[in-house]
Amino acid sequence: MSPSESLDFPYLSELNEAQRAAVVYNDGPALVIAGAGSGKTRVLVYKILYLIDSGYHPRGLMALTFTNKAAREMRHRISQHIGSRARELRMGTFHSVFLSILRQHATLLGYTPDFSIYNTSDSRSRIKAIIKQLGLDDKVYKPNAIHSRISSAKNRLITASAYASYSDFIKYDAKSGLPKIAEIYQRYEAELRLANAMDFDDLLLQTNILFRQHPDVLSLWQERIDYLLIDEYQDTNFAQYMIARQLMQDKGAIFVVGDDAQSIYSFRGANLDNMLSFTKTFPSARTFKLERNYRSTQTIVQAAGGIIAHNEYQIPKEVFSEEAVGDPIQVHEALTGDLEALWASEEIQRLHRAGASYSSIAVLYRTNAQSRILEQVFRRVGLPFRIYGGRSFFDHKEIMDVVAYFRLMVNEQDEEALLRIINYPKRSIGDTTVQRVREASRHQATSLMRILRDPLGYEVAVNKPTATRLQAFAALLDELRDFSRTESDLYAVAERIIRQTGILADLQSDTTAEGKGRVENIKELLGGIDEYIHATLEADQTPTLASYLSEIALMTDQDGATDDDDCVTLMTVHASKGLEFAHVFIVGLEEDLFPSMMSNIGKELEEERRLFYVALTRAEKTCYIGYARERFRNGRTEYGRPSRFLRELPKQLVTFDSELGEGATLGGRPSPSPRSYGSELPSDFSSAPVFSPKAPPSRRVFIERRELGEEPEEKHTSLGALHVGGRVLHKRFGPGEILELEGTGDNAKASVRFDTGETKKLLLRFAQLEVL
């Protein structure tokens, strides 16, 4: 840096050479490749300061972000240098900035300046009403899925009329069994117009239309904007790309920052091509690479680099760190998903005893459903945690709906549970009818269920068809309640409720990513019930629906940690982007889980690899990776292969430990051995098949159990193989020491003090203890 620069722009001295080169370059389009932890926000802030100090007026600078939080943070940091002038910057999210422009020119598009904005809930509600108007089945035309399809079209700048004229779309929809999507889209747009409203996606679509149909308006804004700056450019969609291109194609005063290695939102419409082809869009563009990572140890940075190097579709870069070398990445092989969670809890407690705060630790996973077992194990061992960017497993709507049905099986007078599901899945029982039923219940001083069984007899003001629907609902609940009281197998009870109420079919009809996630959560709930059955039988108790509800009520009723508490953070990898923690655990590194079975080839696989890269680079000091050889997923126990990403980690940066014996495979249950910390990483992680032909059959097969006639399998642990003081391994509670043995045959029991501090008395015919 020259002496004059250090005097005129003192903040430049806080930048490294690569950062400074990007900040001071004002001679044309600039693409800044900002690797993880490379100081991206600082570069953007100082670029804006440098432009202002170089003579640009704040009002002529437009800075676009993807979150309001990022915009607020940048504006605050800029205001610390230039004070109130920071308010003049055109800074905010794409949607907020272009909403302001649209309001100024609304009449040109046929709106008034005070047009309304429909959020996602508003849009889905309107689409739902249109589906009803058209006489379509909303179990086929799911409002969420239709909204997702329309949103995707708008983000690709496809209007309703254009959609209806594209034969490929019409053919695709017809093949998908949804030939009326074009008509729904057209009617939806007409109703938005009639309501003088735009939805969230219109803010970008209508801006593009405004600029395309009114060149004078485009020229006006080209003159007003002296410089365009865009954060997280790898996450832009086609509509955002076209706005930037129209505004700056001729002027070239554009500065974009992002990291192609962190492009993980294609399911939201993000198009990595926007970044990879930036130099084609702006041929005079200069590329700057911020390759120094200030966040993580050398080990973590090199490991992440080794992973992303396997992607073909990327901008080459050499990210490095000058921090300490740091500890090797620890890869742990667990026998089951439960034991993987237990391992994570033990390592977290070890870190805490060594001085780490709980809030400096995060556990990352690929899917929301994976949080259930982590939550249960962490609660059991007393580990404080919070769910970031999401909800506790039992707070998801679909889980609460199923549990409401469970509650009504045990207590038919549970009014809150009944009101929650009286019209779910849809059975044409409207709010007015519900209100009249409640009024009759209060007036007659009797339960809602009694009113539902005989609404006309209790003088509910409804017509005969409505009364018939109410009685049919009551009959369904009564039938299921009778079954739940006579069927001894709790799993069969839960399975039948989920199936016969129509909940499963309703959720499966939603083919969006959200819908698939809800189905996965239902399957995970059944997995938890299966585990509860095992644990209860081991304790020589009878698992019932009432006892299960008591178990989860006590579990979910505990005081949760607040944002201010010192607690471990649990989150999906997607939610972790942009965050950092001293210690990071990444769990579930198995084929078909991470990478996802829906994204295991081509560009989809490359995005999964980028997602793993994001997970690794959240860690500052240490990183732990876990996988299980056996996990309850998709409604059954699956015997999994370790993720291919584990093979891609540089071996010299990794240590490996396992709960399985040396050379163990899943061809028959191995005898677990004590963990061997620091052993060499296996050369081939793929030796175990997904479903071993020798492995014991799954105890449960989701929804198919009755047809297959499978029954719970009892696996006896030989009493002769056990002795007081001996060490054993339990699939759920982990390793422990036998304190006492009693009984014989089917009544043989063992009292075991587990390493977690818990002592359990287990019925050996169910416990499946492994001798260590």
pLDDT tens readout for residues 501-512: 999 999 988 878
d(CA 45, CA 257): 12
d(CA 211, CA 219): 9
Q: Which residue has the tokens 């050499």?
A: 318
- Backbone torsions φ then ψ of 760, nearest 5 degrees: -125, 140
Q: Which residue has the higher pLDDT, 96 or 718?
A: 96
Q: Which of 5, 41, 580, 675 is catalytic?
A: 41
Grade residue 560 by pLDDT with cuts at 50, 70 and 90.
Answer: very low
- Which of helix, strand or coil describes residue 33? strand
Annotation marks residue 107 as catalytic: no
92 φψ region: left (φ > 0), alpha (ψ -120 to 50), beta (else): left
**In this prediction, what percent of the chain has a pLDDT beyond 90?**
49
Q: Which residue has the tokens 């904005």?
A: 117
Mention every residue, 6+ apart, whose C-beta is less than 8 A from residue 90: 59, 61, 62, 63, 97, 225
Range name among 69-73, 564-568, 636-640, 704-708 with the lowest pLDDT average: 704-708
Annotation marks residue 231 as catalytic: yes
* Helix ranges restricted to H, 445-594: 448-453, 464-486, 490-500, 503-508, 513-538, 545-556, 573-576
pLDDT in tens, 34-48: 999 999 999 999 999
d(CA 125, CA 431): 16
Annotation marks residue 232 as catalytic: yes
Q: Which of 292, 609, 618, 765 is catalytic?
A: 618
Asked whether the beta carbons of 703 and 725 are under 8 A apart, the reply is no
d(CA 699, CA 693): 15
pLDDT in tens, 366-387: 998 899 899 989 988 889 999 8
The pLDDT score that the predictor gives to residue 755 is: 77
The pLDDT score that the predictor gives to residue 555 is: 54
| Separation of CA 597 from chain center | 15
d(CA 613, CA 308): 7
Neighbours of 288 (CB within 10 A): 20
Q: Which of 40, 180, 187, 496 is catalytic?
A: 40
Q: Which of 231, 531, 590, 770 is catalytic?
A: 231
Asked whether the beta carbons of 327 and 302 are under 8 A apart, the reply is no
- Judged against a pLDDT cut of 80, whether residue 652 lies above it is answered with yes
Range name among 253-257, 587-591, 652-656, 663-667 with the lowest pLDDT average: 663-667
Annotation marks residue 608 as catalytic: no
The pLDDT score that the predictor gives to residue 735 is: 82
The pLDDT score that the predictor gives to residue 702 is: 35
Grade residue 699 by pLDDT with cuts at 50, 70 and 90.
Answer: very low
The pLDDT score that the predictor gives to residue 588 is: 96
Per the prediction, the chain carries an average pLDDT of 85
Grade residue 267 by pLDDT with cuts at 50, 70 and 90.
Answer: confident
d(CA 334, CA 732): 11
- Which of helix, strand or coil describes residue 670? coil
| Separation of CA 697 from chain center | 30
The helix or strand, by DSSP H or E, that contains position 227, with its residue range, turns out to be strand 227-230
d(CA 82, CA 243): 29
Annotation marks residue 262 as catalytic: yes
Range name among 28-42, 320-334, 410-424, 653-667 with the lowest pLDDT average: 653-667
Mention every residue, 6+ apart, whose C-beta is less than 8 A from residue 450: 441, 458
Neighbours of 704 (CB within 10 A): 12
d(CA 511, CA 500): 21
Q: Which residue has the tokens 């302001």?
A: 100
Question: SS3 for 487-525, per residue?
Answer: CCCHHHHHHHHHHHCCHHHHHHCCCCHHHHHHHHHHHHH
Q: Which of 207, 234, 262, 768 is catalytic?
A: 262
Amino acid identity of 22? Answer: A
CA distances in angstroms from 143 to 153, 174, 196, listed in the order given? 15, 17, 22
CA torsion, points 588, 589, 593, 594, in degrees to nearest 10?
130
Alpha carbons within 13 A on the beta-carbon side of 588: 27
What average pLDDT does range 90-116 have in this prediction? 90
d(CA 473, CA 469): 6
269 φψ region: left (φ > 0), alpha (ψ -120 to 50), beta (else): left
Annotation marks residue 466 as catalytic: no
Range name among 145-159, 280-294, 420-434 with the lowest pLDDT average: 420-434
Asked whether the beta carbons of 617 and 295 are under 8 A apart, the reply is yes
Amino acid identity of 325? Answer: V
